[in-house]
Amino acid sequence: MPARPRLAASGRNGRQPPERAMTRIRSVLPATLFTLFALLLVPAAQAAPRPVVLELFTSNGCSSCPPAYELLRELQARPPVDDVRLILLSQHVDYWNRLGWVDRYSSADFTQRQREYARDVFGSGRVYTPQLVVNGSDEMVASRGNEVRAAIERAADAADLGVTVDARTAGDGSIDVTARVERGQIAAPASVWFALTQDEVVSHIGAGENRGRKLIENGVVRTLRRAGHHPANADTVRSYRAQLPSPADVDRDDLLVVVFVQRDDDRVIVGAGQAALERARTASH
């Protein structure tokens, strides 16, 4: 009587022998671990940088201000917190103009905005340069690196609303800006602000405290405009639109459009976004 054939690579009840099972586990395990690791990386790779808005009140006639320019340019290149986008709004005040150098980027509107912060938010009534206001809620001398870094760290998780910005050049040379503010929970109505900023601004100073100096600055605000009001606890996505003038004799690659949402009661900035002109839509949360 011929011998019964044996089932290859199987044990009793159809199970694989222990040594064969271990071989299979060892061959599958690396691929499984790689897949899990890749899945863990996906959210981090897709997450948009968290915005932190830095409002610098400054003047090119102030000898204490250039160190702040250098510090903020450094921090923009290497933020002190991972996954953070620093949005710089450098607003040149006009009360230095009578002291030897008229700053071409200065505006009484920026002086008024700084005075409103001093009166309504910080309660001091005192204005000075260089002053940095972080997300509308914290202020310090803008050249004090440790204080500035600490304030950015505190503000890194403060944004509540996602803001998407699209900026395109119109036929007449102006800039059409559309912003979408995602629905979200904020406790008070807010204002939606549109700003046009310029990077790599070079100023040659001919008089005053900075006479003979060459200053390089990012984020110089050329236009700042309130574009609308955002209701508290909006349950739908809302869109805002404005047309901003484009400054002459400016390299458009150096221009950025900033949109931020600022509560009307305590002036805290609860959302912000930024986009270059005529480029892919940029979102930040």
Note the pLDDT tens digit of each residue in 166-210: 999 888 889 999 999 998 888 899 999 999 999 999 999 999 999
Rounded to 5 degrees, what angle do the CA atoms 13, 16, 19 make?
A: 140
Check whether 88 has a pLDDT greater than 60: yes
**Structure confidence at residue 32 (pLDDT):** 54
Residues with Cβ within 8 Å of 140's Cβ and at least 6 positions away in sequence, in order, are 131, 132, 134, 147, 148, 151
Q: pTM score, two decimals?
A: 0.81
- Residue 232 vs residues 48, 160, 185: alpha-carbon distances, Å: 24, 12, 7
Q: How many CB atoms lie within 10 A of CB 145?
A: 14
208-243 confidence digits (pLDDT tens):
999 999 999 999 999 999 999 999 988 889 999 999
Task: Classify residue 202 as exposed, middle or buried by CB count within 10 Å of its CB (0-12, 13-18, 19+).
Answer: exposed
- DSSP code of 231? -
- DSSP code of 16? P
Backbone angles phi, psi at 44, to 5 degrees: -65, -40
- DSSP code of 2? P
Tokens of 19: 């040594």
pLDDT band at 54 (very low <50, low <70, confident <90, very high): very high
**Structure confidence at residue 207 (pLDDT):** 96
116-168 confidence digits (pLDDT tens):
999 999 998 899 999 999 999 999 999 999 999 999 999 987 778 899 999 99
Q: DSSP alpha helices (H): ranges in the chain?
A: 18-46, 66-77, 108-116, 145-155
- Residue 277 vs residues 11, 112, 257: alpha-carbon distances, Å: 69, 28, 7
**Structure confidence at residue 252 (pLDDT):** 86
- Per cent of the chain over pLDDT 90 is 69
Measured distance CA(142)–CA(129) in Å, rounded: 8
